[in-house]
Amino acid sequence: MSGETMTITTPDGAFSAYVARPKAAKDPAIVVLHEIYGVNAVMRGVCDALAAQGYVAVCPDLFWRIEPGIDITDQSEAEWKRAFELYNAFDVETGLADIAATIDAVRGRPDVNGKVGAVGYCLGGLLAFLTATRTDADASVSYYGVGIEKYTAEAAKLARPLLMHMAEEDQFSPKPVQELIKAALRNHPQIEIYTYPGRDHAFARPGGEHYDETDAKLADARTMAFFQTNLN
């Protein structure tokens, strides 16, 4: 596999995406939707791991309209503050337009077999949910999305599979909010929800304060099985 960049063009301008791909001629693709820290080492690592599993993995710079090239961590107070500034400045609607443009560009790559999924974390977890309801992504996975409760009615438009991972002790999505989400979505034929007792937000982020190796591996195994079923 190799790490490289691609450029995605929109009517408003162009932005870059990190790409990791296997050596096979044609594979399914997965668009990776980043957290509030931009296309950083953690997200590039997610892409590299997906490429090792046989997927063309593409992580677009969804903050490009605010500031291109954001690459920060959760390890300092200054970075934490900057991340929340980016989160507050981010426009979900234009972000989704950029995701749709990314899916189209990825689907047209010569090394992609036409199937494109999406996986997102934190802010990207919300965007993965909306990618499932608003784009033609073939399958989507949301890790601890923040703000999904505002959009649950959109599940009525959902025609393709969606897998959701929820941390039961998520500080950014309290239990009453989670119950609202589960009540609204649990009977949808295309949605599968897993909850993780005792886990806080970002339990699957390596190196993060709330990282839990056991449940991260469990969630990732469920994700890979889901993509294997729906993209291969």
Q: Which two tokens stand for residue 195?
A: 């909850």
Indicate if the alpha-carbon torsion angle 150, 220, 56, 190 is positive or negative. Answer: negative
3-state secondary structure the chain: CEEEEEEEEECCEEEEEEEEECCCCCEEEEEEECCCCECCHHHHHHHHHHHHCCCEEEEECCCCCCCCCCECCCCCHHHHHHHHHHHHHCCHHHHHHHHHHHHHHHHCCCCEEEEEEEEEECHHHHHHHHHHHHCCCCEEEEECCCCHHHCHHHHHHCCCCEEEEEECCCCCCCHHHHHHHHHHHCCCCCEEEEEECCCCCCCCCCCCCCCCHHHHHHHHHHHHHHHHHHHC
| Catalytic positions, written as ranges | 170, 201
Between CA 40 and CA 61 the distance in angstroms is 10
Between CA 173 and CA 167 the distance in angstroms is 8
